[in-house]
């Protein structure tokens, strides 16, 4: 059992969990993830390790369905049934000069350790954070500490500049920054758009893919995507890939495979366990 | 009954082979419960009396772990089931499992004298069925007795993987007084026995009972522990382990590399079966892991894995399930019993056919599969006749789901993270066949990671061999003479 030592709401339906998992904590590197099961009969879901120390790992999780809802209903002192990892290949961290880190929505959490590592090794780290609105923006403070400069974009203009992260990236390029590397983590559509900007300019662009997973060890092939025309398993060959080679359209379809069934699961969970509707659940 | 020993051979051969009761096909395709229901004690005794108690018992040689079958069957014939199970357990730690999934018809039973005398594999002595019977009898009628454990030797052994190979090694080593830790990547023990082989063929409760027994003997299990990721083999040695056994199996699914293979409703058999078995998708929405509700399913392949996938798809409510296999039924690697059961349940066989592409609809779901007919040519190196595509014979198979069950490669995680362990070009760990020693000192390996996708009993046999060598190594620290691995 893996105890939740601290839990904090950091945005509507987004929680930060500090979990005791010493073996994982000691082995983890930037870019890696864990597979967790909140309860003994739960589904297995992948979550990026957003931070950590000798004994603990930090997870930042958005409630999107039943399993993340079960997590949200756990309290400090409760335990996760399973935490397996660290999985996936670590990010290749190299000193290249100027690096742009783009985090969209919940993708800011996994972008954080990469920004940290990129900075520690001596890169100039320019960070672009995107969110739908101000209240949904997470980890701004942590990201400022890990970056030389932070640009904030919101869809509705409620904070930072109004617009998408691609606009900010275009501005950085237009301003003459010698960008050697882009790392983009967020919704698939955001990563796809970022790659559209960087492809003609030949700026290497790393993306972190969040496909559906089960085992996370290369056993099922459920997480597979097409990269450069070849099949790759995100859990063992990734999660990071050269964004210019990823077939995002195919990946987005595979991500949506179980939407109907997931909705069913979620609705019945909310009905059963949150009969007195919380404001968050009511907002659904 | 007491004087069965006096019955003449010729009369024994007249005792009819006992049929095991099974759930009727119409009923069982709607549930996940086991298909064969087991012998009654009377049936078991009758069946065991069919054994001729040969002096030169070929059956023993046919069994990869060399169970003393005549002695075991004599005990059953005497009605002494406790003794029977004890005889089996001298060499086979997991009889309830082997009795159910061993390819007996190719091992102990094919060489049995009765099989030869009656010239019929269907009428061999039901060694596997009796093994299942005595193991079930013990499980149902009281707890297995714990053997005496010698004082601790002070040695620690790490076992990577909790499939049949790993469980065998753990069980044997703990009985010798060593401290044993099993590291398992998943949240449950059992390997393929739990995530691959379906409930209706091997109830998971049986596997968990065996694991519980090992736990009572003192074996430590660490789940969610991926060796190579959580800690490497080298780090385990640094942590104080004296020897490591690698039994990580052949868990890397093969794909065909044909167009459309990454469409939404294309599954590897591993994924399909894992969702259904380990994650209990058949219970959705009571369980949390879904599977697509399929109407027409094509399963590509002809082995046990393909049969298991097809029969699972039937139980999950598909209207039509097709096996698409590129050779003829004679070449199918699946056990006869599995082919027979699949047919009874309504699975339709498309033989001598091979998919060439999978076609999708505008949302990325499978809309059908293009299939080409094949004919058989010359025998290849495996002795099976090679299928040759017939030009222009392509046709369209109307399906909405495709399950690829064409085999698994060895799991690459350990070799990738431990450069000292040599592998073949197919990724199998190379071992000395007498001792299961790898090219890295203190590391032994066995089961599917060495053999490629093989069988439960062969995995156990390798584990058993490794235990002998590990015991010797812990005494003399000798690692000389390990043949230079052929790469
Ligand atoms: C490598 C990786 C790292 C991730 N890191 C984070 C993170 O740090 N924080 C975070 O909030 N989310 C992260 N995710 C996504 C997270 O795994 C899903 O949000 C979660 O599985 C949803 O489960 P659910 O039961 O609550 O929702 P569901 O109702 O199951 O699904 C809702 C949505 O989540 C996606 N999803 C469903 N099951 C899975 C699955 N097994 N794996 C991946 N996606 C799935 C579906 O596409 C669906 O659109 C990561 C995903 C991957 C692959
Ligand atoms: C669907 C299916 C049906 C089958 N039917 C039959 C049958 O009827 N009869 C028969 O005899 N055989 C059958 N087989 C084959 C048989 O199951 C295998 O030969 C046998 O299970 C191999 O045992 P193993 O111990 O080598 O490995 P496995 O059973 O594969 O177990 C390996 C274990 O190691 C774990 N692991 C892997 N890597 C790591 C790591 N790095 N760290 C920690 N743990 C790790 C895995 O999670 C797994 O639990 C079938 C196989 C399948 C897939
Ligand atoms: S273990 Fe398998 S091969 Fe050996 S006697 Fe039992 S069924 Fe036959
Ligand atoms: S070969 Fe057949 S008949 Fe002879 S001892 Fe073995 S099981 Fe009995
Ligand atoms: S999650 Fe199963 S292979 Fe990647």
pLDDT, tens digit, 9 for 90 and up, residues A197-239: 999 999 999 999 999 999 999 999 999 999 999 999 999 999 9
The pLDDT score that the predictor gives to residue A281 is 56
- Cβ–Cβ below 8 Å for A23 and B288: no
Tell whether A106 and A12 lie within a shared domain.
no
Tell me the mean pLDDT in the region A154-162. 93
What is the Å distance from ligand 1's center to B41 Cα? 51
Q: How many CA atoms lie within 13 A of A175 on its CB side?
A: 9
Alpha-carbon span A238 to A50, nearest angstrom: 17
Region(s) of chain B under CATH 1.10.1060.10: 4-140
- Cβ–Cβ below 8 Å for A23 and B413: no
Region(s) of chain B under CATH 3.50.50.60: 156-251+410-476, 253-408
What is the Å distance from ligand 1's center to A71 Cα? 12
A265 falls within a domain? no
Range of the domain at A50: 2-87
Which of B284, B332, B355, B277 has its CA nearest to residue B309?
B277
Residue whose structure tokens are 């454990």: B149
Question: What class has domain B253-408?
Answer: alpha beta
Cis peptide bond N-terminal to A239, omega within 30 = yes
Tell whether A155 and A67 lie within a shared domain.
no
A269 falls within a domain? no
Please say if the pLDDT value at position B397 is more than 90. yes
* Residue B289 in contact with partner chain A when CB distance is under 8 A: yes
Six token digits for residue A169: 């990236």
Please say if the pLDDT value at position B111 is more than 70. yes
Alpha-carbon span B459 to B421, nearest angstrom: 19
B487: confidence class by pLDDT, cuts 50, 70, 90: very low
What is the Å distance from ligand 1's center to B368 Cα? 29
* Count helices and strands in chain A by DSSP H and E runs: 10, 17
Tell whether A59 and A176 lie within a shared domain.
no
Interface test with B, best of A219, A233, A236, A249 (most B CBs within 10 A): A219
Report CA-CA distances (Å) from A125 to A108, B75, B87, B479: 14, 76, 69, 51
What is the Å distance from ligand 5's center to B208 Cα? 24
The string of pLDDT tens digits covering residues B427-467 is 999 999 999 999 999 999 999 999 998 999 999 999 999 99
The pLDDT score that the predictor gives to residue A275 is 66
Tell whether A83 and A106 lie within a shared domain.
no
Which residues in chain B are contacts of A268 at CB distance < 8 A?
A: 285
Q: How many domains does chain A have?
A: 2
A280: confidence class by pLDDT, cuts 50, 70, 90: low
| Cβ of residue B107 lying under 6 Å from some atom of ligand 3 | yes
Please state which architecture CATH assigns to domain B156-251+410-476.
Answer: 3-Layer(bba) Sandwich (3.50)
Report CA-CA distances (Å) from B36 to B29, B140, B190, B200: 13, 17, 22, 9
A270 falls within a domain? no
Alpha-carbon span B218 to B150, nearest angstrom: 12
Q: Do A61 and A14 form a contact (C-beta atoms < 8 A)?
A: yes
Choosing from A33, A57, A87, the residue where a domain stops is: A87
| Cβ of residue B94 lying under 6 Å from some atom of ligand 3 | no
Tell whether A157 and A53 lie within a shared domain.
no
Domain CATH number, residue A63:
2.40.30.10
Nearest chain A residue to B184 by CA distance is A84
The string of pLDDT tens digits covering residues B240-263 is 999 999 999 999 999 999 999 999
Tell whether A83 and A143 lie within a shared domain.
no
Which pTM value belongs to this model? 0.93
The pLDDT score that the predictor gives to residue B290 is 86
User: Exposed, middle or buried by CB within 10 Å (0-12, 13-18, 19+), for A243?
Assistant: buried
Six token digits for residue B102: 């061993």
Interface test with B, best of A21, A220, A247, A259 (most B CBs within 10 A): A220
Tell whether A83 and A224 lie within a shared domain.
no
ipTM: 0.92
Alpha-carbon span A217 to B184, nearest angstrom: 11
The string of pLDDT tens digits covering residues B16-37 is 999 999 999 999 998 999 999 9
A207 falls within a domain? yes
- Residue owning the nearest CA to atom 5 of ligand 3: B63
A138 falls within a domain? yes
Tell whether A208 and A113 lie within a shared domain.
yes
Q: Do B445 and B429 form a contact (C-beta atoms < 8 A)?
A: yes
Alpha-carbon span B392 to A37, nearest angstrom: 50
A220 falls within a domain? yes
The pLDDT score that the predictor gives to residue B287 is 85
The pLDDT score that the predictor gives to residue B284 is 85
Burial A53-63 (b: 16+ CB within 10 A, else e): eeebbbbbbbb
Tell whether A131 and A48 lie within a shared domain.
no
Alpha-carbon span A7 to B87, nearest angstrom: 55
Query: In chain B, pLDDT over 70 holds for what percent of residues?
Result: 98
Nearest chain B residue to A83 by CA distance is B224
DSSP secondary structure letter of residue B331: G
Instruction: Quote the mean pLDDT of chain B.
Output: 93
Burial B80-101 (b: 16+ CB within 10 A, else e): ebebbbbbbbebbbbbbbbbbb
A261 falls within a domain? no
Which residues in chain B are contacts of A66 at CB distance < 8 A?
A: 288
Site to substitute for ligand 4 among B17, B75, B113, most atoms within 8 A of C-beta: B113
Tell whether A185 and A207 lie within a shared domain.
yes
Q: Which residue has the higher pLDDT, B484 or B410?
A: B410
Tell whether A147 and A231 lie within a shared domain.
yes
* Residue B294 in contact with partner chain A when CB distance is under 8 A: no
Beta carbon pairs, A and B, within 8 Å:
113
Pick the CATH number of B4-140 from 3.90.420.10, 1.10.10.10, 1.10.1060.10, 1.10.3720.10: 1.10.1060.10
What is the Å distance from ligand 5's center to A234 Cα? 7
Q: Do A98 and A179 form a contact (C-beta atoms < 8 A)?
A: yes
Tell whether A177 and A239 lie within a shared domain.
yes
Report CA-CA distances (Å) from B74 to A53, B49, B111, B150: 62, 8, 18, 31
* Residue B183 in contact with partner chain A when CB distance is under 8 A: no
A272 falls within a domain? no
Which of B350, B351, B273 has its CA nearest to residue B308?
B273
């Amino acid at each position: 059992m893996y105890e939740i030592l601290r839990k904090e709401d950091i945005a509507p339906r987004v929680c930060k969990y500090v979990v005791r998992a010493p073996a994982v904590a000691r082995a983890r590197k930037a870019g890696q993830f864990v597979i967790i099961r909140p309860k003994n009969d739960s589904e297995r879901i992948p979550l990026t390790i957003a931070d950590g120390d000798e004994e603990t790992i930090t997870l930042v999780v958005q409630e999107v369905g039943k399993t993340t809802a079960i997590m949200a209903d756990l309290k400090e002192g409760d335990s996760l049934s399973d935490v397996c990892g660290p999985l996936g290949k670590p990010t290749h961290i190299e000193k290249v000069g100027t690096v742009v880190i783009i985090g969209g929505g919940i993708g800011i959490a996994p972008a954080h350790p990469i920004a940290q590592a990129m900075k520690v090794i001596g890169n100039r780290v320019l960070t672009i954070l995107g969110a739908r609105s101000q209240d949904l923006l997470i980890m701004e403070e942590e990201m400022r500490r890990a970056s030389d400069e932070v640009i904030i974009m919101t869809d509705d203009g409620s904070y930072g500049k109004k617009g998408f992260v691609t606009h900010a990236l275009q501005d950085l390029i237009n301003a003459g920054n010698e960008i050697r590397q882009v790392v983009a983590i967020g919704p698939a559509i955001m990563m796809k758009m970022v790659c559209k900007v960087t492809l003609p300019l030949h700026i290497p662009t790393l993306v972190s893919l969040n496909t559906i997973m089960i085992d996370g060890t290369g056993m099922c092939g459920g997480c597979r995507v097409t990269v450069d025309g070849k099949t790759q398993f995100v859990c063992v060959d990734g999660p990071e890939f050269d964004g210019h080679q990823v077939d995002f359209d195919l990946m987005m379809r595979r991500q949506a495979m179980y939407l109907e069934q997931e909705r069913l699961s979620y609705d019945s969970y909310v009905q059963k366990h949150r009969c007195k509707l919380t404001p968050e659940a009511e907002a659904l | 009954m007491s004087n069965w020993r006096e019955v003449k051979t010729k009369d024994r051969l007249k005792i009819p082979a006992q049929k095991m009761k099974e759930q009727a096909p119409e009923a069982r395709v709607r549930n996940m419960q086991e298909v064969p229901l087991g012998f009654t004690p009377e049936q078991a005794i009758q069946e065991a009396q069919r054994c001729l108690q040969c002096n030169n018992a070929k059956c023993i040689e046919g069994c990869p772990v060399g169970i003393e079958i005549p002695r075991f069957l004599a005990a059953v014939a005497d009605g002494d089931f406790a003794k029977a199970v004890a005889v089996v357990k001298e060499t086979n730690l997991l009889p309830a499992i082997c009795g159910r999934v061993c390819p007996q018809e190719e091992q102990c039973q094919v060489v049995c004298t009765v099989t030869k005398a009656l010239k019929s594999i269907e009428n061999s002595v039901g060694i596997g069925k009796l093994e299942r019977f005595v193991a079930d009898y013990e499980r149902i009628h009281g707890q297995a007795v714990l053997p005496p454990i010698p004082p601790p030797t002070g040695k620690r052994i790490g076992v990577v993987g909790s499939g049949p190979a790993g469980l065998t090694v753990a069980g044997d080593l703990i009985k010798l007084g060593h401290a044993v830790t099993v590291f398992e990547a998943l949240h449950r023990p059992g390997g393929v026995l739990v995530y691959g082989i379906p409930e209706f063929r091997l109830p998971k409760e049986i596997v968990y009972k065996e694991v519980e027994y090992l736990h009572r003997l003192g074996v430590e299990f660490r789940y969610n522990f991926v060796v190579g990721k959580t800690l490497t083999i080298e780090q385990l040695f640094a942590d104080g382990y004296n020897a490591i056994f690698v039994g990580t199996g052949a868990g890397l699914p093969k794909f065909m590399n044909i167009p459309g293979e990454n469409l939404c409703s294309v599954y590897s058999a591993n994924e399909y079966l894992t969702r259904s078995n380990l994650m209990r998708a058949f219970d959705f929405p009571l369980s949390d892991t879904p599977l697509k509700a399929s109407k027409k399913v094509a399963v590509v392949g002809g082995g046990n894995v393909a049969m298991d996938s097809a029969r699972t798809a039937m139980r999950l409510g598909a209207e039509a399930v097709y096996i698409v296999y590129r050779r003829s039924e004679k070449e199918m690697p699946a056990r006869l019993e599995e082919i027979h059961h699949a047919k009874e349940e309504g699975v339709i066989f498309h033989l001598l056919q091979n998919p060439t592409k999978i076609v999708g609809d505008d949302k990325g779901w499978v809309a059908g599969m293009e299939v080409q007919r094949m004919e058989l040519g010359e025998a290849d190196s495996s002795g099976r006749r090679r299928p040759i595509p017939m030009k222009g014979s392509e046709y369209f198979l109307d399906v909405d789901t495709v399950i690829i069950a064409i085999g698994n490669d060895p799991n690459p995680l350990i070799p990738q993270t431990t450069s000292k362990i040599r592998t073949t070009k197919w990724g199998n760990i190379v071992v000395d066949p007498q001792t299961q020693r790898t090219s890295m000192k203190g590391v032994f390996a066995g089961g599917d990671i060495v053999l490629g996708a093989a069988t439960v009993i062969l995995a156990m046999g390798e584990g058993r061999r490794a235990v002998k060598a590990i015991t010797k190594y812990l005494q003399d620290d000798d690692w000389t003479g390990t043949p230079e691995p052929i790469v």
